[in-house]
Structure 1
Amino acid sequence: MKRILYLFMACCLISINALAQEINWVTLEEAVKLQKKMPKKIMVDVYTNWCGPCKMLDKNTFHNKDVVDYVNKHYYAVKFNGEGNDVVTFDGKTYDNPNYNPANAKRRNSAHQLTRYFQINAYPTIVFIDEKGKMIAPIKGYQQPQGLELYLKLFKDDAYKEMDTQEKFTAYAKAFKAEFQG
């Protein structure tokens, strides 16, 4: 009986731990509203249903405890299907996917209009938006926790504003000491 109780308690702890490692995802419209109440930057994960690296980013990076804790504390996080059919209002304009084909929901589909605004031409892309709703940068490709950490801290602390050349960014990246666990 003791053994069953210990097993039950261990399962509960594992379940609680798994639940605790979730990013608080909101819609883009909700993030903009939240910014008005408490200014923070926005991180937008632009993915597609068919994209393998997008799934890896979600599984390996967005479930990393250090990433989850940092993003939840310093950003509003948005998940956005770059080939989905959501109607989104952002920066005073409405965006949709007029060529969306429901038959292709699980495979390649037409690009959502918002992807053009965010300058997306590859998936996954993580778009960072400042406290005033202006795009800082789109970061293309799969990011491991430590790689994403560099950008999370660069943008959160506004250090990017001092990097007007590639050489300055390269020096920042070389000097950067990752703290997130892999």
Structure 2
Amino acid sequence: MKVFLISFLTVLTMFDSCQVLSQSQGVEFQNLSWEQALEAAKKQNKFLFVDVVRSIKDAAQKSDFDKQVDKAFSVDSLAGLINDNFLSIKMDMSSEEGKTFGPKLQMLMYPVYVFYNAEGDQIGNSNSYELVKNPGEFIDKVYHAVQKGELKKENNGVIDFLGNKDSSWESVLERAVKEKKPVFIDAYTTWCRPCIQMDRDIFTLNEVADFHNKNFINLKLDGGKTYGPELVKKFGIRGFPSFIYVDAKGKVIHSDSGFKEKDA
């Protein structure tokens, strides 16, 4: 897999001068289903670039802005960056497949560009406005998607979470006393995008998973089920995700909330 390093100045020059640069055939979109694209990406050792549109039929009606998008995608440097690292498809959200694909957007609003690894995990996103109006940031997001995808290949950590539907709060504290460890509570909801991102991008990092498995009794707390609402009230949780560290008596040691990078 080849990654292009492009300076911000180079990107700006590239787009400002695109009328005099040689044009390629552009980003090579393939006519594949989501499942076919995942399989092909694995075989080719590539990531996925998905252009999520309201409908293919509407996208065929080119506005002046759409033509600017096509022009940007036809620049050799950008097309090469995407084609070398990604298998590209379009997703028609007005189709039956689009309806099935919907949850994979994880609450992103379309039209949108989404980058995935070959396992179907999101590794980045952008949009056509950013591509045309701020190409430097778009290129940066492509590059960081590749970096994130490569990082995920190297990390397959799993935190050994108990679930609040499989245990009681009392049994969690009893285990904390027995094993002489504090408790780490990951309070989440199923509709929370940052919660999904923590699960897929941070808790899977080997360093994070190993640290928590070694030092804590880990509880993944669905804030809306079983004793979840009781603990949400008890610990004053006002948003998700929230991270509560408590001792074996249930006393709060530390708390935080929102998406957090590895070191935090």
Smaller-chain TM-score bracket: 0.5 to 0.7
- Residue of 41, 63, 81 corresponding to 2:74: 63
Compare relative contact order (CA 8 Å, sep 6+) and give the higher one, 1 or 2. Answer: 1
- CA distance change for structure 1 residues 29 and 166 in 2, over 3 Å: closer, same or farther? closer
- 5 Å-filtered alignment, 1:13-162, equals 18=23, 20-26=24-30, 27=32, 28-48=34-54, 49=58, 55=66, 58-83=69-94, 85=95, 87-88=96-97, 112-140=99-127, 142-144=129-131, 145-158=135-148
- CA distance change for structure 1 residues 55 and 115 in 2, over 3 Å: closer, same or farther? farther
Output the CA distance in 2 between the equivalents of 1:117 and 1:138: 12
For residues 15-36 of structure 1, the C-alpha deviation after alignment (integer angstroms, 9 at most, x for no partner) is xx54x23211122333212223
For residues 42-89 of structure 1, the C-alpha deviation after alignment (integer angstroms, 9 at most, x for no partner) is 111111226969825732432232211110111111111222x2x54x
Output the CA distance in 1 between the equivalents of 2:103 and 2:90: 16
TM-score normalised over the length of structure 2: 0.39
- CA distance change for structure 1 residues 29 and 160 in 2, over 3 Å: closer, same or farther? closer
- Read off the aligned partner of 1:23 and give its amino acid letter: V
Structure 2 counterpart SS, 1:157? helix
- CA distance change for structure 1 residues 47 and 61 in 2, over 3 Å: closer, same or farther? farther
Aligned CA-pair RMSD: 3.6
Native 8 Å contact 1:41 1:74 kept in 2:
yes
Native 8 Å contact 2:124 2:141 kept in 1:
no
Structure 2 counterpart SS, 1:30? helix
- CA distance change for structure 1 residues 35 and 159 in 2, over 3 Å: closer, same or farther? closer
Deviation at 1:155, TM superposition (A): 1.1
TM-score normalised over the length of structure 1: 0.54
Output the CA distance in 2 between the equivalents of 1:79 and 1:54: 18
Structure 1 counterpart SS, 2:130? coil
Deviation at 1:136, TM superposition (A): 2.5
For residues 97-129 of structure 1, the C-alpha deviation after alignment (integer angstroms, 9 at most, x for no partner) is xxxxxxxxxxxxxxx341233135533211111
Aligned residues: 128
Deviation at 1:151, TM superposition (A): 0.9
